Amino acid sequence: MERLDKFLTNAGVATRSQIKAILKTGRVRVDGVAVKDGSVKIDPEKQAVTLDGETIGGKRRMVLMLNKPEGFVTSTEDPRDRTVMELLPREYAHQDLKPVGRLDKATEGLLLFTNDGDLLHRLISPKKEVPKVYYARHEGEAGEEDVAAFAAGLTLRDGTVCLGAKLQPLGPGESLITVCEGKYHQVRRMMASRQMTVLYLERRSEGGLELGALERGKCRELTEKEIQFLEEQAE
């Protein structure tokens, strides 16, 4: 058994305070009966809960986009460092959201979260070739030989073989790098293998979705249209 207001909050209907106001209007029904008291206990497995006539599930599919700042590790928990989960608003705490891939502690930019396990695994699978675009400030200047080496697929110093990637020089000490996999510190290691130490790294897009005007440290939910677009990229 579960409190009705908690069930509605966990389902992502609205925040706890907003749920209280919604309940007062009588728009929420349990087995067809209007319920205005959020403390009422329900059994989501056996009882039908509706809002304005639409059935509410326990947890709706959700994808969030975060503009990650540096200094946070991509993990659900860590004994030493602050994690990206601390950047998500409290109303998402019970949605079973998990990071899609990872950004290292010093890297900033676009990081997705979802509670859809199938979508998560498809997005991080190299076989799906979902592109991720990074902006890098680095030592040295990328030339034609570096571009060709990235396209052919680099073998890193420890023997790790990387798939072909796109290196787009923007000028002295600046480049865009597009990869379709997510090996450990991959972009930094790829650049280092070509004697271009990365000084700053930001992921700007994934699967064709871009950060846009999203502020650093803030997140937003993807629209259903954006989620469908993302799914098409991971087919």
pLDDT digits (tens, 9 = 90+) for 168-195: 999 999 999 999 999 999 999 999 999 9
Among 41-45, 106-110, 157-161, 163-167, the range scoring the smallest mean pLDDT is 41-45
Query: In the chain, pLDDT over 70 holds for what percent of residues?
Result: 98
Q: Quote the CA–CA distance of 50 and 41 in Å, as a whole number.
A: 15
What pLDDT shows up at residue 203?
98
pTM: 0.76
Q: Is the pLDDT of residue 235 over 90?
A: no
Q: Is the pLDDT of residue 165 over 70?
A: yes
Contact criterion met (CB below 8 Å) for 104 and 72: no
Q: Is the pLDDT of residue 108 over 90?
A: yes
pLDDT digits (tens, 9 = 90+) for 60-80: 678 999 999 999 999 999 999
Alpha helices in the chain (DSSP H): 4-10, 16-24, 117-124, 144-152, 186-193, 224-233
Q: Is the pLDDT of residue 110 over 90?
A: yes
What pLDDT shows up at residue 96?
82
Q: Is the pLDDT of residue 58 over 60?
A: no
Q: Quote the CA–CA distance of 165 and 67 in Å, as a whole number.
A: 23
What pLDDT shows up at residue 59?
59
What is the CB neighbour count within 10 angstroms for residue 120? Answer: 20
Q: Is the pLDDT of residue 167 over 80?
A: yes
pLDDT digits (tens, 9 = 90+) for 111-160: 999 988 888 999 999 899 999 999 999 999 999 999 999 999 999 999 99
In the chain the domains, ranked by start, together with CATH numbers, are 2-55 (3.10.290.10), 63-233 (3.30.2350.10)
What pLDDT shows up at residue 67?
98
If you average pLDDT over each of 18-22, 41-45, 215-219, 227-231, which comes out highest?
215-219
Tokens describing residue 24: 């007062």
Average pLDDT, the chain: 92
> Torsion over CA of 160, 164, 169 and 174, rounded to 10 degrees?
-40
Identify the CA nearest to 221 among candidates 56, 95, 75, 50.
95
- Give catalytic status of residue 5 as yes or no: no
Active-site position among 104, 116, 118, 146: 104
> Torsion over CA of 50, 120, 109 and 89, rounded to 10 degrees?
30
Identify the CA nearest to 116 among candidates 14, 222, 9.
222
Rounded mean pLDDT of 197-206? 98
